[in-house]
Structure 1
Amino acid sequence: MIRIVIAEDDQLIREALKLTVEQDEAIEVVGCASNGLQAFELCGRLLPDVVLMDFSMPECDGVEGTRLIKSKYDIKVIILTISFESDTVSKALDSGADGYILKDVRPGELIQMIKSTVMGLRAVHSNVLSKMIKHGTGYTESSPPTHESEERLLTIRLTGREKSVLQRIVCGRSNKEIAADLLLSEGRVRNIITNMLKKLDLGDRTQLAIYAFKNNIV
């Protein structure tokens, strides 16, 4: 069971998020807060796996709340916001956030991003990724290599099957969903992803998504 704390100052949005994520039987919302400090205090009492943290909140915003949590606990934090701003993304990720998602994310995609974050992957909304690349926003730990390494990446050819899998990764689809789409086994999908990571010398699905945007695969 994935235990979630939701930090959101708008009660209606807070309840909507709770209903959304609890559609999945593997997720339980164990607490709700209206600012980052309250979220930090709940983490001390409840020790959740993930905090869904609104970026803009009174008294203690999402950035400061994330810093507090990361300074003391090994808890994943996903920042939620209503729009993309390059400086907002930078502040969120610099605070130690494990993900950055726009609030208009589809329910299924939000649930998948939560699960991916628990597995140790950075969760970044696909729309945010494309805009980060367009605006040149840094993405420190998960940024693909640059200069001569990036030139090498551009010369590497992906197969049609690999590109099909990659396109679905960008859309936030799980291995199970990709397998169903392409009439493959989950094991085969995992192998394709592993091979792409090795071929491109990348570390995770987020880096694959950035590669896809840079090379017009999506």
Structure 2
Amino acid sequence: MTIRVVVADDQELVRSGFALILDVQPDIEVVAEVGDGAQAVDAVRRHGADVALLDIRMPGTDGIEACRAISEQTGCRSVMLTTFDSEEYVYDALHAGASGFLLKDVRRDDLVHAVRVVAAGDSLLAPSVARRLIAEYTARPAAAPAPRLDVLTARERETLLHLARGLSNAEIAAELVVSEHTVKTHVGNVLAKLGLRDRIQAVICAYESGLVAPAG
């Protein structure tokens, strides 16, 4: 199966560079390169894209608004591109439905890996990125009450706790001494019971509910 990608950035060299890296992969096809959010939303619709790489700051319709429209209107998953001088936008991007965040100086292999991970329905939670996102998110008032965790089993709560610490399925399996398949089932149950979209929202829920306290 080929992963169809839309790259949106108002800097031509950035988007062309990302597109060049991705398009040579046998399982990835860049179906559009665009310079603003409105064009990104249109391209996702027209091409049935699986993943959209969205610069947070773009003229006209920015990456956050594009992410919100894409999340609400399509099945495409969005990854935000940031330099981290734009941390004030992170909170809004998470609520808009972002499935991951990449630094613009991301390494070639990490970019390719991120697209594959997000296309597979997972979320990008690199520890170096997640700590900054969580710190920004938890510093703001919650937009809505956090889901009640008492709907989870003890093992599902353990799984959520490990998710919040940034562990992969393999690492969680080692901690709980179970198979990765079992962990995947627990993660799926956590998301379904709490009405969450993906692992990023699960991490946010863990902090907002008090299961995990922000470091500091």
User: Do Structure 1 and Structure 2 share a fold, with TM-score over 0.5?
Assistant: yes
**1:47-101 C-alpha deviation (Å, 9 max, x unpaired):** 2111111111112211122233334322211111111654311111222322222
Q: 1:209 to 1:30 in 2, by over 3 A?
A: same
Residues 61-72 of structure 1: matches in 2 within 5 Å?
61-72=62-73
CA contact (8 A) 1:6 1:18 kept: yes
What percentage of residue pairs aligned between the two structures are identical? 28
Q: Secondary structure at the match of 2:19?
A: helix
**1:132-162 C-alpha deviation (Å, 9 max, x unpaired):** 3344268989xx978xx69xxxxx9x8xxx9
Equivalent residue pairs, number: 195
Within 2, Cα distance between the matches of 1:69 and 1:196? 24
Residues 48-59 of structure 1: matches in 2 within 5 Å?
48-59=49-60
The match for 2:27 is 26
Within 2, Cα distance between the matches of 1:170 and 1:73? 28
Q: 1:74 to 1:133 in 2, by over 3 A?
A: closer
TM-score when normalising by structure 2: 0.65
Within 1, Cα distance between the matches of 2:39 and 2:189? 42
Within 2, Cα distance between the matches of 1:18 and 1:49? 15
Q: 1:193 to 1:140 in 2, by over 3 A?
A: farther
TM-score when normalising by structure 1: 0.65
Q: Secondary structure at the match of 1:123?
A: coil
Unaligned runs of 5+ in 1: 151-155
Within 2, Cα distance between the matches of 1:124 and 1:4? 20
Residues 4-153 of structure 1: matches in 2 within 5 Å?
4-83=5-84, 85-135=86-136, 136=138
Within 2, Cα distance between the matches of 1:17 and 1:133? 26
Within 2, Cα distance between the matches of 1:43 and 1:69? 7
The match for 1:153 is none
Q: 1:43 to 1:77 in 2, by over 3 A?
A: same
Within 1, Cα distance between the matches of 2:118 and 2:143? 17
Pairwise CA RMSD: 4.3
Within 2, Cα distance between the matches of 1:8 and 1:82? 12
CA contact (8 A) 1:101 1:124 kept: no
Within 2, Cα distance between the matches of 1:46 and 1:73? 11
Q: 1:19 to 1:138 in 2, by over 3 A?
A: farther
Within 2, Cα distance between the matches of 1:47 and 1:198? 28
**1:142-193 C-alpha deviation (Å, 9 max, x unpaired):** xx978xx69xxxxx9x8xxx9xxx79x948x7x7xx69xx9xxxx9544456
